[in-house]
Amino acid sequence: MFELIRNEEIPEQFRVPRLQFDLDPRIKEPRNRRLMEEVEEVYRRWEWDGCRSVIACQKIEKFFLESIETPHIVVKDLEGTVQVHTFRHRFLTTEFLDLCNKNSDWMVDEDLLLNAEDDAPPPAKSLARIPVKRYYAQDLIGSFEGKKYDVKTIQAIRALEERLSKRYVRECEVRKYVALK
């Protein structure tokens, strides 16, 4: 390159023809091939980084946004003094909906049983003699051992267990007080 510039600076009659500066194709070809391989490697790395970034964005979107039924929306008045925000609602999982349906069916059955008992009022002492049955979440939803639930469903099962144990304790206390009457 430096020689070409110096060649242009000298007078015309002393200049070396441009073709003599060109390299032999046998020397030039491997160099060009190596250069093209390096360029292709750079493009492959860029493609890899781009694909990795797209996958990372998809995972983040799936984790944070895909499970949201209603996005966060802000409505402002024209003067900008009042704002109203919406709540973000998540979709309920099918496991949780199944649990809710089974629980509501169980509650309806229990209410029907209590209403039937109300029609024919038993003596107060007979209520104390009926043993209190303790229910577990496993009785309502079936065996959940060995199944893989997501975090929300596991939390719902734990909350159901807590409610059932509190109900059992209340039932025992009610029976104890009825027996004292």
pLDDT digits (tens, 9 = 90+) for 98-146: 887 887 777 777 766 666 655 555 444 455 556 777 777 777 777 766 6
- Specify the higher pLDDT residue, 105 or 181: 105
Cα 122 off chain centre by: 52
Instruction: Report d(CA 36, CA 40) in Å as an integer.
Output: 6
75 forms beta bridges with 84
Other beta carbons within 10 angstroms of residue 119's beta carbon come to: 6
What's the whole-model pTM score?
A: 0.32
pLDDT tens string 146-169: 677 778 887 888 888 888 888 888
What average pLDDT does this structure show over 83-90?
Answer: 77
The pLDDT, as a whole number, for residue 125 is 47
Alpha-carbon distance values, 179 to 101, 118, 124, 142, 174 (Å) = 34, 18, 8, 34, 9
Radius of gyration, alpha carbons of the chain: 39
pLDDT tens string 27-70: 889 989 999 999 999 999 999 999 999 999 999 888 877 777 77
What average pLDDT does this structure show over 15-27?
Answer: 81
The pLDDT, as a whole number, for residue 127 is 53
